[in-house]
Amino acid sequence: MSATTQERTIGILGGKGPEATVELLNLIIKNTPATREEDHLRVVVDNNPKVPKPSLGITGHGPCPVAALVATARNVERAGAGFIAIPCNSAHYYLDEIRRSVGIPVLSIIDETAAALQQAGIGRAGLLATTGLVQSELYQKRLAESGLVTLIPDPKQQAELMEKILRFKDAGDMAPLTGIALRICRELAESGAEGVVYACTEIPLALAGHPPPCPFFDTLAILAKACIREAQKRQGGKP
């Protein structure tokens, strides 16, 4: 069997946000071991910014995005994907509904990040995420299952971080998000965080070239590596 027939096509349920979707594709390309163009992996993408913001749906400040997420996942499946990745941490609040709607596996960015933290020997992790995701406690509960303690910003900082995330998403204004994210990273490190998780896929974009004072875990980069791993499994393998 040739390498091409062994590989599974990567599916990306994208659009939340569009820049994070593009960056995931870019990271897949950059991290794929290739000596020629044909060695790269096949990817199908539905970059659907019309999906309501999952972070606002979680808190009830916006419409529920499930129908749009499900429709987009089905589009990706119909396009030939062997599995799906979602470059949006907050959308994983609805992961069970998405998984039930398709017949192919859907990766979990949260599970992949928990595994990366464990492998790095992190015991106390700071969390930079949307307010909806923080309030859902998805990361806190998953990391606790792996024996990790999660540190989060205080409510005032969290509100400011969320405001700057939305400002970047809607107006493309990155600098304010860079500033508040760096400040929170420093304070989390001072509070004992051994590493900081960029659990909103806009944060790695805003902090590119601005490393925090402790190790950081870019969930987009982690997801990209998981996509490459899963794509290189034989057809019929499961994440």
C-alpha distances in angstroms, 189 versus 118, 149, 221, 237? 18, 13, 21, 39
Mean pLDDT value across residues 26-33: 96
Burial of 4 (0-12, 13-18, 19+ CB in 10 A): exposed
Answer whether 181's CB lies under 8 Å from 207's CB: yes
Q: Spell out the SS3 assignment of 68-126.
A: HHHHHHHHHHHCCCCEEECCCCHHHHHHHHHHHHCCCCECCHHHHHHHHHHHHCCCEEE
| Per-residue pLDDT at 66 exceeds 60 | yes
pLDDT of residue 233: 84
pLDDT digits (tens, 9 = 90+) for 98-151: 999 999 999 999 999 999 999 999 999 999 999 999 999 999 999 999 999 999
**Alpha-carbon span 3 to 45, nearest angstrom:** 22
C-alpha distances in angstroms, 52 versus 65, 69, 120? 5, 9, 34
| Per-residue pLDDT at 4 exceeds 80 | no
Q: Out of 185, 200, 214, 227, pick the active-site residue.
A: 200
| Per-residue pLDDT at 237 exceeds 50 | no
Mean pLDDT value across residues 25-45: 96
* Furthest-apart CA atoms within the chain: distance in Å: 56
Amino acid sitting at position 193: A
Domains, the chain, in order of start with CATH, read 3-109+221-231 (3.40.50.1860), 110-218 (3.40.50.1860)
Give yes or no: 185 in active site.
Answer: no
Q: Out of 88, 185, 214, 227, pick the active-site residue.
A: 88
